[in-house]
Chains A and B, each alone.
Chain A
Amino acid sequence: MPDYSWPAAEQRTLIGKRVSRVDAPLKVSGRAKYSYDYTRPGMLFGKILRSPYAKARIVSIDTSAAEKMPGVKAVEIIQKPGTTVQWAGDEIVGVAAVDEPTAEDAIRVIKVQYQQLPHLVSDAEPPAGVGGVPGPMSEDDIWDATDLMSPPQVASQVSQLGVTFKASPDVIDEFKKFGLPAEIVEAIQKAAYHPLAESSHSASWYQKASALHQGDPDKAFAGAEAVSEGLYGAPVITHCCLETHGSTAEWPDKDHLLVHLSTQNVSGIPGQMAEPLGLPAANIRQQQDHIGGGFGSKFAADRWDITAARLSKKAGGKPVRMMLERDSELQVAGARPSAYARVKVAAKTDGTLTAWHSESWGTGGPGGGGMPPIPYLFNIPNQHKEHTAIRNNIGPARAWRAPNHPQAAAITMCALDDLAAKLNLDPLELFRKNLGITGPRAENYREEFAIAADLMGWKDKWRGRGQDRSGSVARGLGLSIHTWGGRGHSSDCDLTLHPDGSVDIKLGSQDLGTGTRTCILMVAAETLGLPIEAISLYIGDTMYPPSGGSGGSTTIGGVSSSTRRAAVDAREGLFTKVAPALNAQPADLECVNGTVRVKSDPSRSLSWKQACSKLGAVPLTARGKNPDKSKPPDLTNSGVGGVQMAEVEVDTDTGVAKVKKIVAVQDCGLIIDLKTAESQCYGALIMGITYALYEEKIMDQLTGRMLNPNMQFYRLAGISDIPELVVHMMTGKGYDERGVIGLGEPPVISPGAAISNAVANAIGVRVPFLPLTPDRVLKALADHNLD
């Protein structure tokens, strides 16, 4: 059997080097085509009428004026009278017209009568005593529970509490598809169905999860040498994709749908659109060249995409473009759940952690959501945890880069930092002291801490809380650590060698801007001994072999493994054809520098083109797969660590915090492209600064609407807000041999915690919640001065 393993360090020609992304020229010159750019002659423009109310029953809908309007080609009611909408901006009616203004005019003449219902858009700490009894579980609750409990525990909770959804075969299939353990699925099928009671809104707004217990926290707290208490958390933020959500849908004939949907999940789209449209998935084709941001919010064909397809059908198959406006993007197309907690943490005077107690709450919109994985990373021996989910009317949550981890880090790492301050310990020492309870990556963290401390100059710069002041400028340092899985997803890859020497690769993957294209090409080029430019790559189309959605840092492990196996098999196939011409056995050959040659006698060689001509008239295609137990070794792996340190300056008169420097030290197994790996970290740090200091989905309690669905009040860091970013990737022994592991999520987990800790170190007091806005910083300072 051929050797599929990754080449040894000394043999690598491309893997692990810094290679500029192959699509950079397209992107910087504006030639890269995004779904938003897809334009067809005769294309219609779709618009959606959205609910102005956060909670309301639709009483009646009259679309007659819109249907009669010249230029309007199709109208589609999305939610029928009698339905209760659960958030402002929810989709009511879709319209397709010859141009955008006409579609907007049509939307304005649709008459909808609503019966407004009381809403809740707050995620403030639940009043005492609410949600005392754990309620039935939503789909989200179940997924969240799997993060925290073993399958038998989750199954037993499901049986005990019942579920809020109908366990239809589709729902069950969905659970199975995403890997929910069989015993939980079974429990769901048997569980009692308790729909959320419309009549008792306030009662159903809060859902208390079962308390989780480990060790003997009461005893540990009673005997603790030091206890630190604090309030921590992170708000709901949006994904704010630069390219908004949406698609263009068209019917080339009555049985076939072609969509250009902005998605992280090219191969998964047909399956999602098939049922609502009553069309075989095989008749749906999805295409996408480039995507302008997803961050976890673009896995699904959304209701507006289904609507676009229906409008197109009604309009005789004409293409209908339905891309969200900026305000809709921010209101309905994705939000990261909030998480807040009152935390008590105990330790010995030397910093050894002994006990954790948290009462947490947060919202993921109408679904509620679960407890973030706290205490994050540090498996403190004695724990007591309670969580209350708030099911409110802010719109649905979606996975946001490293789901629940940034919130868990913000709560945990800030609590530990406060504990260190209370013990007059350098937090670096406290963290190092407790690495033993972080699990299998403890030694990696130790190495990473050493490098990070050096790059930050931690030893020289670090002072106790509030000790580094000049005038109104307070300086401080903070740190955090994080982990993630990142095992490669399922991926099929076809690699074809043509008799003329050209090579192409096809896979139904997508490049989120992370460098996926570049990495696929590097793996194939390395394996075939060719330059990257000699290979044509085709991705982003369901005509190509399926590859998993790009979520959970699973892409690089998946596509690099499937590409490696395809390239090795194609190479072996070529060797078989070429060997006679070189008077050698296939096993004696190698591909080096654009030649196929005999290992033991490189003078016996053919140029790549000559070699491929031996294929005869028919190209050779090899299918590589991940996972593929029949073609060992496993080329991907799971589990990474990272350490980050932030340096800030805070103006204590204005409360304005500025990040001066961030150091990120990160491992992710074998790195394919060092440059795009570093870029992933730079992007994550920028995103991290943004959610640490600026971002929040601000909801208006009175109107139930989002107040900042625009780029003025939904603040994102600008170029002047980005400080020196130092990224160090761990490579070499201890890392490379682990195989390829994803990197999308991990580096975005720690910035919020590290920056919050740095601000606390600077000003001498904790600002409880992100974002660290001037009003909050000033309030924390004022409260502190009152003490």
Chain B
Amino acid sequence: MRAFEYATPQTKEQAVGLLGTKWGPIAVLAGGTDLLALMKDDVEQPKRLVNIKDIKELHGVTSSAQGLRIGALTTLGDLADNANVLQDYPALAEALNDAASPQIRNLATLGGNLCQRPRCWYFRNGFGLLPKDKVGKDLVAEGDNRFHAILGNSGPAKFVSPSTIVPTLIAYGAKVRLAGPKGNRELPLEKFYVIPKTDTEREHDLRPNEIITEVFIPAAGGMRAAHYEIRQKAAFDWPLAVAAVALNLSGSKVLSARVVLGYVAPVPWPSPEAEQALAGKVISEDVAKAAADAALQKAQPFTHNSYKVQLARVAVKRAILKAAGGAA
């Protein structure tokens, strides 16, 4: 690891003041479970780390009639054990418990999970976010893309968005709140993610001089939600496909649905096609299958990842059935 400067601001204003206008030279340190690994691998080389863990208002979870406010520094482990989460957002608790190992969950923060860098093996091996070789060959398209995107992959970005928790948060309608030099702003979580077009851009709309302060999840009401991951290993493994589904039901009929896929595109991938396929329907095996087919209709796999289309389809179908209370 390279030498760096270390700052520990006490307020979010101080923190923001320590940040810069470019990605790279300055990095925000929260749980550090991803950042420190990237620094050890020399993929990230920050000259300054801004440790935000002393900022009190970024901690804690508060519940109100409107919903749940989750401080960005809440660890995945604490959030998974939170009584409100367990009661009102059980699919989120499940997603949290499926993420990483207990040791990681006890350190990793929700804000950090939202900002973790892609797991693309070219990126992690130092070939860049939009990896190319010396003569400009696209390493993913022409190389080993077995774990890469099958949707939203027509541009230079072909990695998959790495959070397994975010699809469920989006399905629950979560918003993310950011603090920057000009004050605070709020975004629907799905708008927080963008597909970068150049190596200097990031995978999200956070600016280099902003930090995430909190995530807000509106009250779940009678919403029924589910999270489903397809992993090869039973635990502590990065999934091959993720689906999160939230259903607003009237009796057994779907009034409206949210269907969000993970690990299929450079961003968490809401599927309006699947949502439409569910609206007005009574959930059945066939309805779930039709929605899953709709979600993957536009999939464009590369040479080695067409199996992921099948896996994503199965994940969506099983998440729908699980949300509706059927067999997963």
Interface residues of A (CB under 8 A from B): 100-101, 104-105, 327, 653-656, 658, 693-694, 698, 700-703, 705, 707-710, 712-713, 715, 717-721, 773-775, 778-779
Q: Would you give 8 A-B contacts (Cβ < 8 Å), ordered by A? A: A655-B307, A700-B144, A707-B122, A709-B125, A718-B234, A773-B232, A774-B230, A775-B146
Cα distance A720–B122 in the bound complex, in angstroms: 29
* Residues of A with C-beta under 8 A to B310: 653-654, 778
- Decide: A694 and B124 in contact? CB cutoff 8 A: no
- Decide: B133 and A720 in contact? CB cutoff 8 A: no
- Decide: B133 and A703 in contact? CB cutoff 8 A: yes
> Does B255 lie at the interface of the complex (its beta carbon under 8 Å from any beta carbon of A)?
no
Known contacts: A694-B233, A715-B232, A720-B233. The answer to whether A700 contacts B240 by CB under 8 A is: no
Cα distance A717–B235 in the bound complex, in angstroms: 9
* Residues of B with C-beta under 8 A to A656: 230-232
Known contacts: A656-B230, A708-B121, A778-B310. The answer to whether A715 contacts B142 by CB under 8 A is: no
* Residues of B with C-beta under 8 A to A719: 235
* Residues of A with C-beta under 8 A to B3: 101, 105
Chain B, range 108-148, C-beta contacts under 8 Å to A: 119, 121-122, 124-125, 127, 133, 137, 139, 142-144, 146-147
Chain B, range 142-176, C-beta contacts under 8 Å to A: 142-144, 146-147
- Decide: A707 and B234 in contact? CB cutoff 8 A: no
Interface residues of B (CB under 8 A from A): 1-3, 41-42, 119, 121-122, 124-125, 127, 133, 137, 139, 142-144, 146-147, 230-238, 240, 304-305, 307, 310-311, 314
Known contacts: A701-B144, A702-B133, A707-B144. The answer to whether A718 contacts B233 by CB under 8 A is: yes
Known contacts: A701-B143, A703-B127, A707-B125. The answer to whether A774 contacts B236 by CB under 8 A is: no
* Residues of A with C-beta under 8 A to B240: 774
Please, which residue of chain A has its CB at the minimum distance from the CB of B1? Answer: A101
**Chain B at the A interface: mostly helix, strand, loop or mixed?**
loop
- Decide: A720 and B232 in contact? CB cutoff 8 A: no
| New A-B contacts (4) at CB < 8 Å, excluding given A654-B230, A773-B232 | A656-B232, A700-B139, A700-B143, A707-B144
* Residues of B with C-beta under 8 A to A327: 41
Q: Smallest CB–CB gap between B235 and chain A, Å?
A: 4
Cα distance A337–B197 in the bound complex, in angstroms: 40
- Decide: A694 and B1 in contact? CB cutoff 8 A: no
- Decide: A713 and B121 in contact? CB cutoff 8 A: yes
* Residues of B with C-beta under 8 A to A710: 124
- What 5 A-B pairs are tightest by C-beta distance, nearest first? A720-B234, A775-B307, A720-B235, A707-B121, A653-B314
Please, which residue of chain B has its CB at the minimum distance from the CB of A100? Answer: B1
Q: Smallest CB–CB gap between A637 and chain B, Å?
A: 40
Cα distance A719–B307 in the bound complex, in angstroms: 26
- Decide: A774 and B238 in contact? CB cutoff 8 A: no
Of A100, A701, A707, A715, the contact of B233 (CB 8 Å cutoff): A715
Cα distance A656–B125 in the bound complex, in angstroms: 27
Of A100, A702, A708, A774, the contact of B139 (CB 8 Å cutoff): A702
* Residues of B with C-beta under 8 A to A707: 121-122, 125, 144
- Decide: A104 and B1 in contact? CB cutoff 8 A: yes
Q: Smallest CB–CB gap between B37 and chain A, Å?
A: 9
- Decide: A718 and B236 in contact? CB cutoff 8 A: yes
Cα distance A718–B3 in the bound complex, in angstroms: 34
Cα distance A634–B146 in the bound complex, in angstroms: 54
Q: Smallest CB–CB gap between A97 and chain B, Å?
A: 13
* Residues of B with C-beta under 8 A to A701: 143-144
- Decide: B233 and A721 in contact? CB cutoff 8 A: yes
Cα distance A653–B314 in the bound complex, in angstroms: 7
Cα distance A63–B124 in the bound complex, in angstroms: 27
Q: Select the residue from B1, B119, B142, B236 with max chain A CB neighbours within 10 A.
A: B236
* Residues of B with C-beta under 8 A to A658: 234
* Residues of B with C-beta under 8 A to A100: 1
Please, which residue of chain A has its CB at the minimum distance from the CB of B131? Answer: A703
Cα distance A104–B3 in the bound complex, in angstroms: 10
Q: Smallest CB–CB gap between A707 and chain B, Å?
A: 5
Please, which residue of chain B has its CB at the minimum distance from the CB of A693? Answer: B232
- Decide: B311 and A774 in contact? CB cutoff 8 A: yes
* Residues of B with C-beta under 8 A to A694: 232-233
Please, which residue of chain B has its CB at the minimum distance from the CB of A472? Answer: B314
Cα distance A31–B298 in the bound complex, in angstroms: 56
Q: Select the residue from A658, A713, A719, A779 with max chain B CB neighbours within 10 A.
A: A713
Q: Select the residue from B121, B230, B238 with max chain A CB neighbours within 10 A.
A: B121
Q: Smallest CB–CB gap between A534 and chain B, Å?
A: 41
* Residues of B with C-beta under 8 A to A773: 232
Q: Smallest CB–CB gap between B28 and chain A, Å?
A: 21
Cα distance A718–B144 in the bound complex, in angstroms: 25
* Residues of B with C-beta under 8 A to A717: 233
